[in-house]
Structure 1
Amino acid sequence: MSTKGFDLDLTRPAHGGVYFVGVNDLDRLARAAARDELGVRRIDLAGCRDKDELLRRLAISLQLPATFGHNWDALADCLRDLGWIPAWGHVLLFEHADELRRAAGADFDILLGILDDAATFGQDNDRPWFAFVALPDSAFDAAPTSA
């Protein structure tokens, strides 16, 4: 889903979730999140082509605890509780995500599921939690349309 053409209220936990956006949307979303005093983290996935590199980049970008186990379960646990990032809600901005999507589609899908689970956890606990995954315009052109 792209946020192009509408403004998403980042302060409303019920709107939390995982959204596909255009590459040019990330800066606007970062400004809106900062204005609303949400914790903003950018994750640059340029050149990221597998699970190990993805987990390494997430550990660095999110400053995951030293006890982070570098596996999917540990990532899910950490994303549900981003307590070490001082903020009342969270916005994760994934740049260059198409490289991972093309190189390791199954890992990309698992990441999306973990992000969705964390956003649902945020909603259940009345905390804004958003992940915005930037894809090139061509990824939206190739998306199937419903009748």
Structure 2
Amino acid sequence: MNAQFDLDFGDASHGGIFFVTSEDLEPLADAAGMQGLRVCRVSLAEYRDREALFDQLTTVLRLPADFGRNWDALTDSMRDLSWLKAPGYILLFDHAEGMRDSNEEDFDTLLDILEEAVDYWQDAGSPFFAFLALPESAFDETDT
């Protein structure tokens, strides 16, 4: 896909959730990193269940030891992130089809949490972006 994004990673109003291909993640990480955003990469290729997701997010986002390991706790954590000390955040989810195909309900819940986080950070004036990489074929399906 190699999408061209007209995004200012330093502008909170540009924040959002975007679907891309895996090839887009590296240039996005580079661009966001150059603007000082905290870049967090999550692979969903081996998604088995939400416990595995919480394990990975705990590591990648350096979630506090008292992270509750449930959707509500993830929602709360996504609205804090103070321990990451950054002017903004970009989450790059590679192989998102792994989670989407394995458990669509969990995938939709994650999207809802990310959407709430985008809204929260926009209100706070801090950039927050989430990019979920899907295979090229996923974009072909939506074009019909």
TM-score over 0.5 for the pair: yes
1:32 & 1:53 partners in 2: Cα distance?
Answer: 29
The 8 Å contact of residues 45 and 57 in structure 1, kept in 2 or not, is answered as no
Pairing of 1:68-147 with structure 2 (within 5 A): 68-143=67-142, 145=144
Residue ranges of structure 1 left out of the alignment (5+ in a row) = none
The 8 Å contact of residues 22 and 136 in structure 1, kept in 2 or not, is answered as yes
For normalisation by structure 1, the TM-score amounts to 0.93
Amino acid at match of 2:68: G
After superposition, the C-alpha distances for 1:15-43 in whole angstroms (9 at most, x for unaligned) are 11111111100000100111001111101
RMSD: 1.4
Could you tell me which residue of structure 1 aligns to residue 8 of structure 2?
9
For normalisation by structure 2, the TM-score amounts to 0.95
Runs of 4+ in 1 over 6 A off after TM superposition: none
Amino acid at match of 1:75: L
Could you tell me which residue of structure 2 aligns to residue 44 of structure 1?
43
Amino acid at match of 1:89: G
Could you tell me which residue of structure 1 aligns to residue 53 of structure 2?
54
Residue ranges of structure 2 left out of the alignment (5+ in a row) = none
Matched residues, percent identical? Answer: 49
